[in-house]
Chains A and B, each alone.
Chain A
Amino acid sequence: AQRVTQPEKLLSVFKGAPVELKCNYSYSGSPELFWYVQYSRQRLQLLLRHISRESIKGFTADLNKGETSFHLKKPFAQEEDSAMYYCALSRGSTLGRLYFGRGTQLTVWP
C-alpha cells in the first residue's frame, strides 16, 4: 500500500532562514511525487513535481528513493511563503488518484 507522511503538522521559521518541509512515502513501485500549496483561503495549487526537477518560488525538492523522501526546501524563507503545504504521491499518471499527506502549516515570521 502507498502512504505519504508529513511528520510536522506545524513549522515556524523567521524570514530569511532556511526551511525544509519533510515528506516521506512508502510505495513499492516507481512513484511520482508532488508538492501542493494552499495559501490562506485560496485553492490548492501545484507547486512542483519531481519529474520536472524545477525550482518554483525558490523552492526545490529532490526525490531520494533510498530514503523514500521528497523534502521541500528553500534557502531563504519569505513571509509570503506562509501557507499549508501538502506532499502527494501518484502511482503513475495512468492510475488516477493522488495520495496526500496530512499537510504542514508553515508560518514565516517577520
Chain B
Amino acid sequence: DAGVIQSPRHEVTEMGQEVTLRCKPISGHDYLFWYRQTMMRGLELLIYFNNNVPIDDSGMPEDRFSAKMPNASFSTLKIQPSEPRDSAVYFCASRITDTQYFGPGTRLTVL
C-alpha cells in the first residue's frame, strides 16, 4: 500500500491564481482530513470528512477555500484566488480506528 497520496508535491503559483490540491486516501479508511502547516501557526485542521460527507469545516480560513470529496478514493482542496499568505504545506490524512495516516504534503508557494 502506497499510503496516502497527494499531488502535486510542490506548487508555485502567482497571487490570484486558482490552486487545486489532490488527495487519495488509503483504501477502506472512512475519515479524511485536510491540514495546513506553517511555522507561525503549526498544524491546523482545515476540514474533515466522514464517509465522503464534510463534518467540520470550521477551520477553513475563508470563502476562498473549498474542499470536496466526490468519492471514497479522492478529495480536493481548492484555493481561489490564492494569496501569498496561503503559502504553507498542506497535508491530507486518512484514518480508520484511532490512527491517522498522513500524506507527504503539498508545499504551496504563492508569489
Contact = CB atoms under 8 A, between A and B. Distances in A.
Nearest to B107: A41
Interface string A95-107: 0111011110000
Centre residue among B4, B91, B98 by max chain A CB count within 10 A: B98
A57 interface: no
Interface string A33-59: 010100000111110010100000000
Interface size class of A (residues with CB under 8 A): 20 to 34
B103 A96 contact: no
A32 interface: yes
A93 interface: yes
B42 A90 contact: no
Interface in A82-102: 86, 90, 93, 96-98, 100-102
8 contacts: A34-B98, A46-B99, A96-B31, A96-B48, A96-B55, A100-B42, A100-B43, A102-B43
Nearest to A105: B39
Which residue, of A45, A90, A96, has the highest number of chain B Cβ atoms within 10 A? Answer: A96
B71 interface: no
Nearest to A44: B102
Residue from the set A42, A86, A93, A98 with the largest chain B CB neighbour count within 10 Å? A98
A98 B100 contact: yes
Interface of B: 3-4, 31, 33, 41-43, 45, 48, 50, 55-56, 91, 93, 97-105
Nearest to A100: B43
B33 A43 contact: no
B102 A43 contact: yes
Contacts of B33: 97
Contact of B102 (A45, A49, A90): A45
B98 A90 contact: yes
A96 B41 CA distance: 22
Given A44-B91, A90-B98, 10 more contacts: A34-B98, A44-B102, A46-B99, A93-B97, A96-B48, A97-B45, A97-B56, A98-B100, A100-B45, A103-B43
